[in-house]
Structure formats: structure tokens, C-alpha cells
Structure 1
């Protein structure tokens, strides 16, 4: 069911993807965490391997995160698309752009950072494991 939800969110929201300035590239979206970890965190995180290219801090990529349960004001099934970059050697990360799409395809939020904040990577966190996948290509299972 979670996979169907993610695929529906990634594929069946063309109206939202067209209105957002962050467009989805066609590529291979990799599930970063195993299903039991996704259930525990309430999020399904995917990285588009085709979008991992040199740029930004070192490696630039696109990420999609689907909420598997309601979180604050965001309903279950909300998809967050982010365009990020990471410097793997220096342990620094930035988010350049994010957008949020509701389960019905409506745009909830969208922000482009003119001057993204440079932050340190905490490699043992959930986000750090996503960035480690981008840097090393090894899934944290």
C-alpha cells in the first residue's frame, strides 16, 4: 500500500508537478529506507538517482518524501519534493528549493532559497543516511 501511495504521488500528480518550479526528472527513484524503518518514522524517502549530478556543494540531487501518517498540518500522503546539494568530504548540506503537494495534487507550499543556509551533516541521523546514500550509493538497510 505504501509503495502504491508513493507511486501514485510521484506519477499521478502531473498538475502539481507542472505548477511547481521543481519538476520531476524521469529517472530511477530509490527507496532509501527499508519498510520497517519507514513505518517507524512515518515517511517514505526516495532519491532520484538520475538527478545526482555535480553541482551545488559537490553533488546536487532531488528527493521526494511521502508522509505515511498525518504530521502537524500536513495530511497523510503529502509529498515533499526538495532539490538539495551535499559536500560529501566537508560534511555540509544545503536545500535549494522545496515544494509540498497534497494527496489531491494541490500545491500546499513552495519556496526557493536565494541564499540557502549551509548546515553541517549529522551522518547518524535519518537525513544523514539519505545524504550518505547520495555520497556513497549504499542503501542503509
Structure 2
């Protein structure tokens, strides 16, 4: 029952702001980590499998992260939508644009300016996200 509450919490901001941008619109959202891992890293991570395509550094995709516990000034339930790109061959990743929403759906900020490309740290949770985008391997 508690897992359903977490899933409902993770999906609540999605429905509250779904019409505001192509970043957070409907898609084929796949949950990458099991509940124990989400608790450990402090966030749920979903990738829109339908959005993975050529672009950016090589391949672009949409990602949504929802905090399962407060982090700094950001409360539990804060949601970040991102358009990211990755060069699977060289292991570089870049944030193309993002939007951040409070649990009540109010906007906390956004950016349409691409960030600098960074090396993927494969042994971290973000490396597992990139591995899924590049190779289809679901971390569990």
C-alpha cells in the first residue's frame, strides 16, 4: 500500500502540469529503479522511452525526477522535467533544458539553455540512467 502512495505522489505533479510544456507531456514513462533504490537515492527517475531519438550529442530523451524526500530547500514531491542528450560512444551527457515544479504544481524555474557536456560516471545512478538510454538495460 505504501508503494502505491509513492507512485501516486510521483504521478501527481505530472497530471497537474501536463499541459504546460512538451517536456512534461504524455509519453511512455518507464520507472527505472525499484522502491528501495529510490529511497536510497532520494528520488524516483522515469524515462520517456517514446522520446529517445537522434539529436543533441547523439541521442536525446526526456527524464522526470521526483524527490521522495526533501533535499535542501526543495520539499518532498518536487518534480524536475528534463530534456537530456547523450553521446553513448564517448560517454558524454548534457542537460538541454529543464523545468522544476513544487509539489502543488507551481513553477520553481526553468531553462531552455543547454548546459555543458559532462562525462558520465557509470558507477552512479545517473550512469545507470544513461546505460538504459544507450543500451536498454533497466537498473533494478
Partner of 1:97: 97
User: Which structure 1 segments of 5+ residues have no match?
Assistant: none
For residues 90 and 47 of structure 1, the distance between their equivalents in structure 2, rounded to whole angstroms, comes to 21
> Deviation of residue 6 (structure 1)?
1.1
The equivalences for 1:1-141 within 5 A come to 1-14=5-18, 17-18=19-20, 21-114=21-114, 116-141=115-140
Cα pair 1:91 1:120 within 8 Å, conserved = yes
Listed as ranges, the gaps of 5+ residues in structure 2 are: none
Taking structure 2 as the reference length, the TM-score comes to: 0.91
Alpha-carbon distance in structure 2 between the residues aligned to 1:11 and 1:48: 15
TM-score by length of structure 1 reads: 0.91
Distance 1:124 1:97 in 2: 24
Deviations along 1:74-95, one digit per CA (max 9) or x if unpaired, are 1110001111000111111100
Moved over 4 A (4+): none
Root mean square deviation, CA, Å? 1.3
